[in-house]
Structure 1
């Protein structure tokens, strides 16, 4: 389907101009998308057992659509809170500025003029974006009250107590990314959402609804539709090249972004679902980690059930979205990922 026709179709869906489709019936947007019976059956079963309102499941192998289905009340233009899947997109914004030379991953809080002395002064941007900074591991709800904006987090740096030695402790949280976002705002000369629109969203043609909201900070507050997140994920899969073949981001930022930053750091705090993850890069989990630290399989599951994933060894990109809780659907999601991986051509 030509891109212009597909966009018209997506717009019609988003505007409600098409008749509603029955719950648990896949609506293939792209006619080249096959219906993989095993995947469809797993999705329908998850919807039935968990009484889900809807699911979006999208997979590409290279430039080939492996699967694209929308079920229930989730269509391509449905705006969804993606929770911690935001972290990967936040990492992309940071790396876009690194690619422009406006930021460096080894830039410290002292370099940024935020802290002048003490152990916090040596905290790097890479540590902020990989949860190894030892800044407080405050949960999203307390974070909203204490550090509601990147500027508020940066302003209170001197009052924060470290939870360990920077670089030696891993604690999955959002405060450190708020500080990193303030460094980005300083370097980019605009607020976070404006940077996102300028660097990523507008060039990709993302919907106006795709933005960070007022809750859960940079690490958890992105709102995106399946179509929005699919475009973002494919940009990452193509290492900075857009669907029309134009390069948006330099290719050399992606191996750096997709390199484990935890190393031997002690894991102090992380979600239960992350127990099997082998590392963490700049804004995303390393599901697999090679001996040198490269991460061939990367993902960023969110609390509300969005799970974006790239398996570079298979050139396989998977996006699952739902309005639920990850702990409810995680076993189903892993089964769907396995089924899609089995349907893909060998890497």
Structure 2
């Protein structure tokens, strides 16, 4: 049985000792935070997943309103452990794009023609919003081929003219990363810096993220972010608080979040998406809509990654959940659903 390390809120302040079980037996469930109840049912679900799949570690964090509902680190994953988050990158890429929109450097309806990336023809009218919501009709190139052909935003933009379209922009939805590479190049042009520098300047440095939190050399803007549980927790809470950092400083304007959190698929033909996304109701700017209201807004949003990172925000409950692991999402998807359900019940008082 992998060992468990459970970090309490007071640990960061040096007020409480670090608890590291020395036996092979599962650690006794303890409150994740002095101000929140213990959730043994969540701990048991996570420990069962670790046993079932032979996982080396798990980070599980939940915030309900202004309180920590649960915080646990298991095995070899701690608060500062850098992890590749795969498609959980897309949500954060959306924040970078929207930060530039808020500054007036880009608009969601900025077209490739306006950006100087396409002349006449169907590509000219593709908008930034379509690029960031997989409705641009650019090819749904897989991650390995994308890495080979379009490893950087600039490479994708340079080869835009050679890309075969899969339909008319706005009429097809195909979940992939190439369109976000093109969007990232538009951001680099508008922001006057490379993607990582924009991320650090607009989001990471103001939020106090670790230096290790950055896009790596693989999987592009749509899948290449490296972040620790502490880094991604701060990012998720920034979204949950609609642009406010934990200390109350405003990092991003509140009005960008309703624009992000709207379905942009509509009646488009779904040509390609992961099996784990079959139940998703729509897609916004870099995020999935797990639930959708009649007006197109998305009260429950998420951005699961292929390596098992699952950030989720339920605005109707003011409940933010972050699950991180080194695995494959299809292996742990049912376990994450069970953990999420247990956390929702706890938030609802069950």
TM norm structure 1:
0.93
> Is the counterpart of residue 284 in structure 1 residue 269 in structure 2?
no
Paired residues in the alignment total 339
Q: CA deviation at 1:19?
A: 6.3
Matched residue, 1:69: 72
Matched residue, 2:53: 50
3-state SS of 2:266 partner:
coil
Distance in 1 between the 2:313 and 2:76 partners? 26
Matched residue, 1:117: 120
The answer on whether the counterparts of 1:28 and 1:70 sit within 8 Å (CA) in structure 2 is no
Using a 3 Å threshold, how does the CA distance of structure 1 residues 116 and 21 change in structure 2: closer, same or farther? farther
Matched residue, 2:245: 242
3-state SS of 1:183 partner:
helix
> Is the counterpart of residue 293 in structure 1 residue 296 in structure 2?
yes
> Is the counterpart of residue 149 in structure 1 residue 176 in structure 2?
no
The answer on whether the counterparts of 2:33 and 2:69 sit within 8 Å (CA) in structure 1 is no
Matched residue, 2:261: 258
Matched residue, 1:208: 211
Matched residue, 1:108: 111
Using a 3 Å threshold, how does the CA distance of structure 1 residues 21 and 245 change in structure 2: closer, same or farther? farther
The answer on whether the counterparts of 2:32 and 2:69 sit within 8 Å (CA) in structure 1 is no
> Is the counterpart of residue 160 in structure 1 residue 163 in structure 2?
yes
Distance in 2 between the 1:226 and 1:28 partners? 19
After superposition, where does 1:11-90 map in structure 2 within 5 Å?
A: 25=27, 30-90=33-93
Q: CA deviation at 1:20?
A: 8.0
CA deviations on 1:47-93 (whole Å, 9 max, x unpaired) are 00111001100000111100000011110000000000000000011
Q: CA deviation at 1:345?
A: 3.3
Q: CA deviation at 1:282?
A: 0.1
Matched residue, 1:172: 175
CA deviations on 1:127-174 (whole Å, 9 max, x unpaired) are 000000000100111100000100000000000000111000000000
Distance in 1 between the 2:53 and 2:36 partners? 26
CA deviations on 1:307-334 (whole Å, 9 max, x unpaired) are 0000000000000000000000000000
Matched residue, 2:5: none
Matched residue, 2:235: 232
Distance in 2 between the 1:337 and 1:116 partners? 47
Distance in 1 between the 2:90 and 2:37 partners? 31
The answer on whether the counterparts of 1:59 and 1:68 sit within 8 Å (CA) in structure 2 is yes
The answer on whether the counterparts of 1:91 and 1:129 sit within 8 Å (CA) in structure 2 is yes
The answer on whether the counterparts of 1:125 and 1:180 sit within 8 Å (CA) in structure 2 is yes
> Is the counterpart of residue 345 in structure 1 residue 348 in structure 2?
yes
The answer on whether the counterparts of 1:22 and 1:72 sit within 8 Å (CA) in structure 2 is no
Using a 3 Å threshold, how does the CA distance of structure 1 residues 326 and 167 change in structure 2: closer, same or farther? same
The answer on whether the counterparts of 1:288 and 1:296 sit within 8 Å (CA) in structure 2 is yes
Distance in 2 between the 1:34 and 1:317 partners? 16
CA deviations on 1:174-196 (whole Å, 9 max, x unpaired) are 00000000000001110000000
Stretches of structure 2 lacking an aligned partner (at least 5 in a row): 1-8
Distance in 1 between the 2:114 and 2:79 partners? 42
Using a 3 Å threshold, how does the CA distance of structure 1 residues 27 and 86 change in structure 2: closer, same or farther? farther
Matched residue, 1:220: 223
Using a 3 Å threshold, how does the CA distance of structure 1 residues 287 and 31 change in structure 2: closer, same or farther? same
Matched residue, 1:312: 315
Q: CA deviation at 1:246?
A: 1.1
- RMSD, aligned CA: 2.1
